[in-house]
Each structure stands twice: as C-alpha cells, then as structure tokens.
C-alpha cells in the first residue's frame, strides 16, 4: 500500500481530480441509464408490448458501456493508490501515516480545492479533522 504525505496527496490531485470528476459524471450517467433500463424490464415483466427491440438493445449497450467506464475509472484511481469511498460524490481517501504513528486517511472530495482534511481509519467523513495534523 502506498502512503501519501499531505503534500504528495495534493500533488497527486493533478492526476486524481480529472479522474474523480469523470467518475462522478460516469456514475450519474450509469445510474440514469440503469433507471431507464429498469423501467423497460418492468414493462417486459408486464406484457412487453410496444417495445422496439433495437432501441432496447441500444439502451442495454449504453448502460453496459457506462458501467464499464465506471469500473475503468475506479481501477485507474485505485492504481494511483487512492481509495474510492463514494463514487457518486467523488469522495476519496489517500492512505497516510500520522506523525504520532498510526495510519490515517487524508480525505478529499470532488469540488474541494485541496486535500485539507484527515481522519482515522474508522472515523470516516464524519470524523474529518483539518490538516495539518
């Protein structure tokens, strides 16, 4: 596991931020397509009448592509050493070591200017404290 200093986490935002922003958008698109696809499934469970098989196939393909994009972005972020905590809001954690010894997580979310908070491993977003340690 990679550990980040606050400076390294902020420097990593150059690569992480665009991926996280893309992830939030991809999750939004994927969720919207999945909602539309579920409506089609519900209709099929009824009688399925009036559905255009080509349009249904296109919707299914679009939903699969959107889901694959989410997975790819999750993989890209994880490969950079980042932990994705909430893909819908772009909440990410950077593993770090507190100066007093315990492992902690540096916390950042899409829309924030910098990595400016940290929390214990079990503290979560609600337990965020401002940097510096």
Q: Give the range of the structural domain holding residue 60, as residue numbers without chain letter.
A: 6-130
Average pLDDT value for the chain: 95
* 9 touches 115 (CB < 8 A): yes
- Condensed to tens digits (0 to 9), the pLDDT of residues 61-111 reads 999 999 999 999 999 999 999 999 999 999 999 999 999 989 999 999 999
- Condensed to tens digits (0 to 9), the pLDDT of residues 35-68 reads 999 999 888 888 767 788 888 899 999 999 999 9
Dist. CA 12–CA 18, nearest whole Å: 11
1 in a structural domain = no
Expressed in angstroms, the distance from the first to the final Cα of the chain is 21
Structural domain count of the chain: 1
Tokens describing residue 88: 């819908």
3-state secondary structure of 3: coil
Please state the rounded mean pLDDT for residues 3-8.
98
Based on the number of CB atoms within 10 Å of its own CB, is 34 exposed (0-12), middle (13-18) or buried (19 or more)? middle
Q: Any idea which residue has 């990593």 for tokens?
A: 12
DSSP class of residue 115 equals -
């Amino acid at each position: 596991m990679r550990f980040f200093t606050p400076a390294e986490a902020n420097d990593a935002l150059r690569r992480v931020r665009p991926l996280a922003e893309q992830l939030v958008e991809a999750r939004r698109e994927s969720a919207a397509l999945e909602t539309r696809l579920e409506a089609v499934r519900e209709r099929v469970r009824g009688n399925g009448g009036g559905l255009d098989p080509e349009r249904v196939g296109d919707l299914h393909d679009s939903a699969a592509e959107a889901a694959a994009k989410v997975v790819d972005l999750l993989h890209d972020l994880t490969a950079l050493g980042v932990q994705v905590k909430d893909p819908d809001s772009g909440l990410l954690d950077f593993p770090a070591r507190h100066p007093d010894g315990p492992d902690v997580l540096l916390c950042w979310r899409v829309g924030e200017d910098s990595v400016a908070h940290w929390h214990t491993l079990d503290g979560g977003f609600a337990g965020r404290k401002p940097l510096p340690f």
